[in-house]
Structure 1
């Protein structure tokens, strides 16, 4: 994994250092689906204002350098993300083709879980106010 580029978390918060928008959430609250951006966009005040009265992480998906041991999903000794594992294990696939993704080569989920993560990624909403039971379990730090 020797690279000048950091490994990126595909479900980051906009205030994280190095955050960039990678998609816009579309679909419905019951069936969200990310529309991937052609290229990551910098997080600016103007971008964040586009979310209106809701949290930007409800409207956009952000990537940022993986926080590693600063994240409750990260298993330090094994350099892996439990969230990626649980998304693959618990959530259904929502596509049979790899989405066109601008961060795939640096994405922690891709590097760790491969295609299986990409087949589930479009439904992940970082700040989801109406998660499915599977997504709630995947996001819960205490669930292994």
Structure 2
């Protein structure tokens, strides 16, 4: 079975930094390659306290049945996001993304997932 990457992982062992929130554009800027979270990055994130997960996006291996967003066959998070984000707010084209070949959202929703990806911020309440 092919392993997929979650583009909106909670903080957990082996998570990597995928993107950083840009307040000017109000979008996540996806990094050219995911960056392993070392002690320096961890300390920098701690500066944001409870809001730290609103400032970054993490990636990790998709947890499938160990994740509350998994319905047994697919990730329900991206479907809900696509329902909520208006067409006019979505990206017009696809930006470069190093995890696209293994991205769970892309595997399910193709380019439509990519068009909303930069608008997604992690919600710790989910």
Give 1:68's aligned residue. 64
Give 1:134's aligned residue. none
User: Structure 1 residue aligned with 2:49, among 27, 49, 54?
Assistant: 54
1:117 paired to 2:118: no
SS at match of 1:80: coil
Whole-angstrom distance in 2 between the partners of 1:97 and 1:111: 17
TM-score, length basis structure 1 = 0.76
Whole-angstrom distance in 2 between the partners of 1:88 and 1:53: 28
* 1:53 Cα deviation from its structure 2 partner: 3.0
> Does the 8 Å CA contact 1:10/1:109 hold for their aligned counterparts?
yes
Whole-angstrom distance in 2 between the partners of 1:114 and 1:53: 33
Whole-angstrom distance in 1 between the partners of 2:90 and 2:42: 27
SS at match of 1:46: helix
Identify unmatched segments of 5+ residues in structure 1: 129-138
Aligned length: 122
Identify unmatched segments of 5+ residues in structure 2: none
* 1:102 Cα deviation from its structure 2 partner: 1.2
TM-align CA RMSD: 2.0
User: Structure 1 residue aligned with 2:11, among 9, 14, 20?
Assistant: 14
Q: Which runs of 4+ in 1 moved over 4 A?
A: none
1:94 paired to 2:87: no
**1:53-112 Cα distance to aligned partner (Å, 9 max, x none):** 334322110011111111111011xx2011011111221243101121111111000000
